[in-house]
A and B are shown apart, each in its own frame.
Chain A
Amino acid sequence: AQSVTQLDSQVPVFEEAPVELRCNYSSSVSVYLFWYVQYPNQGLQLLLKYLSGSTLVKGINGFEAEFNKSQTSFHLRKPSVHISDTAEYFCAVGSGFNKFYFGSGTKLNVKP
């Protein structure tokens, strides 16, 4: 079975600073990787996904993530965060047979 680890449950950062949210997964087979964002009292929105090809994936709202197969990581980055990026971020792994596994989430708190 797959597992997804988001080591940081909370990440405080000042506005306009860079941020990296970490995600590691365990898998011995090909996987597909996703980042979702959840704003308070809302559902999850897809930020970006990696299926194949270039290991650097660009998503919405200026976010990007890099797939590192050797380190089994898919960290999410943004060079300059805004107050509006305050939300919870979930990393997910999809495998064959349409199964998806989610991390426990990282709450990003952007301070002015």
Chain B
Amino acid sequence: NAGVMQNPRHLVRRRGQEARLRCSPMKGHSHVYWYRQLPEEGLKFMVYLQKENIIDESGMPKERFSAEFPKEGPSILRIQQVVRGDSAAYFCASSPPGGSGNTIYFGEGSWLTVV
């Protein structure tokens, strides 16, 4: 049973370009989370999605960032017009359906470098 798969692992973008990060949850998981980890900082929650629904996007910057989790295919975190401050590790996590007591499992991360 494959774990949470993220790609690309490393991505370099010039300022102003777009970055797309993909995440395939573990088999049987219908909940996806995106977190950002800036250098020397902890994990910051960005967004929580279920299939075709954004449940909580309270951690998403108001501009340039968007996320989706379509009925088919991976979840996508999209960053438009990237700036140097977007350089960070972006982690995706997933959890199974159901209520309380679920465990969240992380992918290996996507490291975005904006030059």
Contact = CB atoms under 8 A, between A and B. Distances in A.
B106 A32 contact: no
A5 B91 CA distance: 21
A105 B108 contact: no
Contacts of A42: 108-109
Most buried by B among A44, A45, A46, A94: A44
Interface in B75-112: 91, 93, 95, 99-109, 111
Nearest to A90: B43
Contact of B106 (A36, A98, A105): A36
Nearest to A29: B100
Interface residues of B, number: 27
User: What is the predominant secondary structure among interface residues of chain B facing chain A?
Assistant: strand
B101 A51 contact: yes
Interface string B27-40: 00001010100000
B48 A98 contact: yes
Contacts of B91: 43-44
Contacts of B43: 44, 90, 102, 105
B12 to A, nearest CB: 16
A43 B107 contact: yes
A98 to B, nearest CB: 5
Contacts of A100: 33, 45, 93, 104
Contacts of A98: 31, 48, 55, 95, 99, 102
Contacts of B6: 43
A102 B45 contact: yes
B72 interface: no
Interface of B: 4, 6, 31, 33, 35, 41-43, 45, 48, 55-56, 91, 93, 95, 99-109, 111
